[in-house]
Amino acid sequence: MTEIERHTSKGMLPLDTKIPWLTGLQQSLNDAIETDRLGHAVLIQVDPGLGGEWLATWLAARLFCSAPSATKPCGTCLDCRRVVSDEQPDLMRLSPIEESKEIRIDQVREMAAELALTGHGRGRKIAVITPAERLNRNAANALLKTLEEPAGSSLLLLVTGEPSRLPATVQSRCARVGISVPPIEELEDWLRARAGNGIDWKAVMSAIGPRPFLALQAEAEAIADLQRETARALDQVASGALDPVETAEAWGKEDFALRINCIENWLVTRIRDWATGKRQAQAEALFAALDDAREARQWAETPINKPLALERLLWRLNAIATSRRPA
């Protein structure tokens, strides 16, 4: 389990949720359904945490719904409710199995066999693969066979933020829809409207990235606190008021990946602030620290000695304090 997942709980937003950055895609998908252009495979390019899986579920409901309007599933019929509660027998979901981080060939084979059977309801079968870039090489090859010879009225929905990590042969056999990341203010507004003003959503997204769906499920307050605490401590290290070794020791213990996000955000902000002012010379040290942070990020999932990685970064900041002291 990754850190952010540890901070989150499961839950699916209702089908009628208004998600401004996805409405254009919903419209295109509706048009494709109305004009019978949906095909057998759609690649949905949406960055993680922006609702790609929700959109795939919405589309499945739109297709399974027994009383859909031209623009949306009804949300209340048995078919819609089954999609939402994941009890729709003709809807399959493929995701990495627990610890493996990969979608494997046996999962794809099982899905292909299932797609070849006749559906329970009106005959359609849908499989949602998310995040699709986690298909390993063998699994992607097996999927290619299904894409080349699609069964009956089956529909494959591949959700990914990184389509380029899929083989070109897989990409080329899918219709593609997608969005770019919306402005952070739009995401903040949406989060405030959904979950209230009580939480510093900007700080939350600083820590976890522009991922409003994740922000909603996360322990948002704890994450916002972490972001603020990190920023305060970094200011203190850079002014010589906090010891790099002790700080690194404490930070290496838990929430390492989140902490690195917070550190990167602080560095990027300070670089912007200092690059044009009288602290220009010191901004150099920040660039070096940013390289350290990006390197440390790669160690987040490994058993490497994390305090040591952070220590180097913090000493660079501490050196700024030393260089500022009058001789």
* Residue 15 or 94 with smaller CB distance to Zn ion: 15
| Least Å from the CB of residue 61 to Zn ion | 7
The region that residue 209 occupies, defined by phi over 0 for left and psi between -120 and 50 for alpha, beta otherwise, is left
| Least Å from the CB of residue 76 to Zn ion | 6
Distance (Å, rounded) from C-alpha 278 to C-alpha 267? 17
Strand partners, 42: 157, 175
| Least Å from the CB of residue 4 to Zn ion | 32
| Least Å from the CB of residue 127 to Zn ion | 20
Q: DSSP characters for 254-287?
A: S-HHHHHHHHHHHHHHHHHHHTTSTTHHHHHHHH
* Residue 73 or 131 with smaller CB distance to Zn ion: 73
Question: Max Cα separation, the chain?
Answer: 82
* Residue 4 or 61 with smaller CB distance to Zn ion: 61
- Within a 10 A sphere around the Cβ of 100, how many other Cβ atoms? 11
* Contacts to Zn ion by CB under 5 A: 65, 73-74, 77, 80
Strand partners, 45: 160, 178
* Residue 74 or 257 with smaller CB distance to Zn ion: 74
* Residue 29 or 65 with smaller CB distance to Zn ion: 65
CA atoms within 13 A of residue 268's CA, in its CB half-sphere: 10
| Least Å from the CB of residue 57 to Zn ion | 13
* Residue 64 or 274 with smaller CB distance to Zn ion: 64
**Which phi and psi angles does 290 have, rounded to 5°?**
-65, -40
Distance (Å, rounded) from C-alpha 42 to C-alpha 171? 9
Q: 128 with 53: CB under 8 angstroms?
A: yes
* Residue 74 or 321 with smaller CB distance to Zn ion: 74
Q: 15 with 72: CB under 8 angstroms?
A: yes
Cis (ω within 30 of 0) for the bond into 131?
Answer: yes
| Least Å from the CB of residue 290 to Zn ion | 49
| Least Å from the CB of residue 279 to Zn ion | 59
